Amino acid sequence: MDLKLLKEEVYQANLDLVRHNLVIFTWGNVSAIDRSTGLVVIKPSGVAYDEMKAEDMVVVDLDGNVVEGTLKPSSDTPTHIELYKHFSQIGGVVHTHSTYATAWAQAGRDIPILGTTHADYFADDIPCTRDMSQEEIEGQYEKDTGTVIVETFNGINPNHIPGVIVKNHGPFSWGKDAHEAVHNSVVLEQVAKMAFVSLSVNPKSTMNPLLTKKHFDRKHGANAYYGQS
């Protein structure tokens, strides 16, 4: 993909976080990767959304070296890179501090699958990562945030659960491109809110596994039939 087009895509996706009320101030970032070159385009660090321009997006390689751009890339860039390295089918990554998803992260609890809205996008609970070690926190913190996410998905298909909450930190989501990653981020926040309300009404809320499978498969399964062909 043309880097200019990818910068525009990532720029618009970052603005979408604001439009969907997922970020305030500079609390979030979106990136996308060109798999043919291994180059990642990401939001610059600490730049206000209403001041950003498409040309401000920073291009880095998969070693984190800045290839193009005059601004520093997001401080979360090493986390995004770890996800691109290990989740080979994803093309976009989003990180926010959206309220409900972050509340579950601060509580250190998986977001349980309790309804069909959740099952339409995520095949199971949205996992919360483990506590990070002292070495991870004091060492390559952002890179190891990615490492811990990848570890959490050992045995889990990241295409079937396109999001995670990092304990005490917040949510990351991903998709085939930046737009889909933002879409999944919006859904993740909404199902986090729904789960909170559901458990407030009934702490014993559960989901029928057959209904979970039905809703996930009708959108993502081999014989998916949701939407137009």
**Catalytic residue (one of 56, 120, 125, 217):** 120
The answer to whether residue 120 is catalytic is yes
Tell me the angle at which helices 3-19 and 178-201 cross, rounded to the nearest 10 degrees: 20
The answer to whether residue 226 is catalytic is yes
Task: Please give the full DSSP string across 145-172, using - where no structure is assigned.
Answer: HHHHHHHHTTTS-TTTS-EEEETTTEEE
Return all residues near 219 (Cβ < 8 A) that are at least 6 apart: 120, 121, 226, 227
Tell me the angle at which helices 178-201 and 99-107 cross, rounded to the nearest 10 degrees: 60
Is beta strand 39-42 parallel, antiparallel or unpaired with respect to 163-166? unpaired
CA proximity to 47, closest of 17, 27, 18, 69:
27
Taking the C-alpha atoms of residue 207 and residue 211, their distance in angstroms, rounded to an integer, is 7
* R_g (Cα) of the chain, nearest Å: 17
Catalytic positions, written as ranges: 120, 226
